[in-house]
Structure 1
Amino acid sequence: MKIAGFEFAEGARFQKGAIQNATLVGQHMELLRQQQKGELTPEDVLSDARNHNSPLHSFFEWDDSAAAHQHRLNQARGLIRAVVAVYVREDQPAVRARAYVHIPEGETSHYRESGHAMSMAKTRKLVLQRAWRELQAWRERYRDLKEFSELFDVVDETIKHLPKSTRQ
């Protein structure tokens, strides 16, 4: 199969100032991949992006202290996502679930305790909408794999029972 063009994935977020030309970026990455005998690694991309003339340069933070802070924020996000709570009730066995869920409220996104977030209509809707977008992105990424066709059928059936507000 031949690549006909390039786009950025829906919902992709880049740092401020990144030159968002998907065609230019995709063509450049494809050139890098070909130079590396068909394999592209993050190290290849970063190495190329160090050059101020690279179309990839603007996608990276080059101020080391700012980059270190962003890296630590990503580590903090990973730590928050890694915490699992064990919920207990007298009449049921213990249940393990993610302790915190991400609430994407504009510029003030944050994490809330899962049970609390899901008990409030506004945050429940935000969490379900994000889950929906992630499911759709996963489905799009793997749509050509026939091994998942039965799973996609189940998803299609499940969609019929979801509230429309979830699928936004």
Structure 2
Amino acid sequence: MVYQWKSGASIKLDPEVAGAVLERLRTTHNGRLTAEAVVTEAQPRTSPLHDAFEWDDRKAGRKWRLEQASHMIRSIEVIRLTPEQSKPIRAFVSVLRDEDRSYTSTAHALSDPELRAQVVSQAWRDLEAWRQRHAELIEFAAVFTAMDQARGA
């Protein structure tokens, strides 16, 4: 497994180090990765995540650091070096468990039927929103037809 930052992410940390820390946090918190846990982990100056955050409260308070942590989680990708997958995918996805929203690894979410259903449902919502934004483009008519067929509409 190889971690990398999404194109355009401006996080100045080694993605391998950040990915390993984020995955460790996820596993030590019962499969749930939260921005709160990332900020807490990053707080000590010795933390490998520390330099990704603005610690001067005059410039940025805790809410901003939570946003920075969420951005970090959303920006990391993983490449599993297998014949089936050589393209990067999101390392973590947002899921709802027990009325609690957090992130979990994409691999875990896709292997759990309930979490997978959430991820697929969100993907359909994203596709439908994209479709509404671009409905007037006849260049995508075949894509829209394929979406309808995939959805069974």
TM-score by length of 1: 0.48
State the match for 2:102 in structure 1: 110
Cα displacement (A) at 1:111: 0.6
Q: Equivalent residue for 1:72?
A: 65
Amino acid at match of 1:132: W
**Whole-angstrom CA distance in 2 between matches of 1:123 and 1:130:** 11
- Distance in 1, matches of 2:131 and 2:85, equals 33
% identity of equivalent residues: 32
What residue ranges of structure 1 are gaps of 5+ in the alignment? 1-63, 162-168
State whether residues 79 and 85 of structure 2, in contact with CA within 8 Å, keep that contact through their aligned partners in structure 1.
Answer: no
Distance 2:136 2:114 in 1: 35
Distance in 2 between residues matched to 1:86 and 1:127, nearest whole Å: 19
Give the gaps of 5 or more residues in structure 2. Answer: 1-56
Q: Structure 1 115/154 Cα, relative in aligned 2: closer, same or farther at 3 Å?
A: same
Q: After superposition, where does 1:16-165 map in structure 2 within 5 Å?
A: 68-89=61-82, 94-105=86-97, 107-160=99-152
Tell me how large the CA RMSD over aligned residues is: 2.7
Separation in 2 of the partners of 1:93 and 1:142?
Answer: 29
Contact kept, 8 Å, 2:80 with 2:86, in 1: the verdict is yes
Runs of 4+ in structure 1 deviating by more than 6 angstroms, as ranges, are: none
Q: Give 1:105 deviation, angstroms.
A: 4.2
Distance 2:106 2:118 in 1: 12
Q: Scaled by the length of structure 2, what TM-score is found?
A: 0.52
Deviation of residue 74 (structure 1)?
2.3
- Residues 114 and 144 of structure 1, relative CA distance in 2, 3 Å threshold: same
Q: Which moved more, 1:79-88 or 1:68-77?
A: 68-77
Q: What is the CA-CA distance between 1:150 and the residue it aligns to? A: 2.2
CA–CA separation in structure 2 for the residues paired with 1:92 and 1:127: 20
**Count of residues paired in the alignment:** 96
Q: 2:125 & 2:140 partners in 1: Cα distance?
A: 18
User: Letter of the aligned partner of 2:117 in structure 1?
Assistant: K
Letter in 2 for 1:97: I
The one of the two structures with greater contact order (alpha-carbon pairs below 8 A, sep at least 6) is 2
